[in-house]
Amino acid sequence: LADRLQNSIQKIKGKGKVTEADVKEMTREVRLALLEADVNFKVVKDFVKRVKERAVGQEVMQSLTPGQQVIKVVKEELTDLMGGDQSKIAVANRPPTVIMMVGLQGAGKTTTTGKLANHLRKNHNRNPLLVAADVYRPAAINQLETLGTQLNMPVFSKGTEANPVDIANEAIAQAKENHNDYVIIDTAGRLHIDENLMGELKEIHSNVNPDEVFLVVDAMTGQDAVNVAESFNEQLDVSGVVLTKLDGDTRGGAALSIKAVTDKPIKFAGMGEKLDQLEAFHPERMASRILGMGDVLTLIEKAQSEVNEDQAKELEQKMRDASFTLDDFLEQMGQVRNMGPLDELIGMIPGADKMKGLKNANIDEKQLNHIEAIIQSMTKAERNDPSIMNASRKKRIAKGSGRNVSEVNRLLKQFNDMKKMMKQMTNQKGKKGKGGGFK
């Protein structure tokens, strides 16, 4: 899915002028891509129609960068298609609230049961009871019990001989007695959907009448995930989907189709094996991911509107022959600042939210003011060649800028590091050929 979309996007991205024919071709590709991904044809039809309408409309045609504007439209519509932020969990009028976890074997039901319990306690101050209703494999019961121990939460189990319906009923009775406000039932899965499994799940369902039925789906299984979601939803009236293993390198076409096919919201995303690696599902981020470029697009867009092409070429040349000076640095900084608040920009770098410390790195606006002041206190010669810097020069600069010498030193070091990095980057770029640098 992503490949196809990306191709058509690459085609239209750089266009200074977008004609109706361009839009037609792009939407044709998008349509095929979505159909290939098993998205319901009616959904696709609507989607394409909306994109088309907007793409030939004023917002695109009158913008300065129509090619990019079209992509923005596609992204917004993709986001819409996957629904808004849906991470709410039902609360029963009379506790306990019962959540039933269903899905194929290996999808991540048991792990997600633990994660969800952790989430409910941590973020909602709840006190869940975990229920081991997968009686076919002793290991499955042990697994849940281990999670319960790790979380220091109660687990209801009755071994492998008991009937899952009885287990569920007794667990709910115990929860009432012990004032557990949530009951999360971990059920059995199979490698494939079969009638026995569905029969058992339906029986549990009609007995406990759950407030939520969460379908756990492995995002790595791609389009299979969509078929699985469809059959589970038909039989059990799923209330929400948890998409697991999104930490893997899946592009997430499944996410798009699941919502479109089942019309059930994707509520959470599993981002790893650990118990705290469950996140609310963000359709917007997913749309970026499907488009395959994080928010880099926006970032480039912003950069392009601030740095004109001649400047960019000049800068690249300077990076290449290492004649980049502190004056250039100062100018660059000014441009970056014109783009908008720094943390917002950093937020657009894919994966940046995962790089802890980056947020608190020395990048707040105040620090930038200091850096500017320091550079401005340098002479032209110093800015062109910081290697002439000695102790007395540093002292003078520190005094002139109202900062101290250690800050001057830090800046010089940062500048040096940056130059080194530029050298590496331009070398790499030379090797990989044009367009290699950004990723």
Residues of this chain that interact with ligand GDP (CB under 6 A) are: 103, 105-111, 189, 216, 244-245, 247, 270-273
Residue 104 or 375: the one with the smaller Cβ distance to ligand GDP is: 104
- Distance in Å, CB of 245 to ligand GDP, minimum: 4
140 scored as a contact of Mg ion (CB under 5 A): yes
**Partner touching 386 among ligand GDP, Mg ion, none, CB below 5 to 8 Å by kind:** none
Distance set, CA 385 to CA 57, 293, 394 (Å) = 52, 37, 13
- Contact region with Mg ion (CB under 5 A), list: 138-146, 153-161, 216-224, 396-404: 138-146
Strands (E), 105-211: 128-133, 155-156, 182-187
Strands (E), 6-154: 97-102, 128-133
Specify the residue for token string 């290939």: 36
107 scored as a contact of Mg ion (CB under 5 A): no
- Distance in Å, CB of 187 to Mg ion, minimum: 8
Q: Do the beta carbons of residue 14 and residue 66 sit within 8 Å?
A: no
Query: 16 labelled as ligand-binding?
Result: no
Query: 84 labelled as ligand-binding?
Result: no
**Partner touching 273 among Mg ion, ligand GDP, none, CB below 5 to 8 Å by kind:** ligand GDP
159: left (phi over 0), alpha (psi -120 to 50) or beta: left
Q: Is 402 exposed, middle or buried (0-12, 13-18, 19+ CB in 10 A)?
A: exposed
**Partner touching 253 among ligand GDP, Mg ion, none, CB below 5 to 8 Å by kind:** none
Q: Do the beta carbons of residue 133 and residue 164 sit within 8 Å?
A: yes
Query: 292 labelled as ligand-binding?
Result: no
Q: How far apart are CA 181 and CA 69, in angstroms?
A: 48
What are 184's strand-pairing partners?
A: 99, 130
Query: 134 labelled as ligand-binding?
Result: no
Tokens of 262: 């089942």
- Distance in Å, CB of 102 to ligand GDP, minimum: 9
Residue 96 or 189: the one with the smaller Cβ distance to ligand GDP is: 189
Query: 246 labelled as ligand-binding?
Result: yes
Query: 187 labelled as ligand-binding?
Result: yes
- Distance in Å, CB of 250 to ligand GDP, minimum: 11
Residues making contact with Mg ion (CB under 5 A): 109-110, 140
| Residue stretches of the annotated binding site for GTP | 103-110, 186-190, 244-247
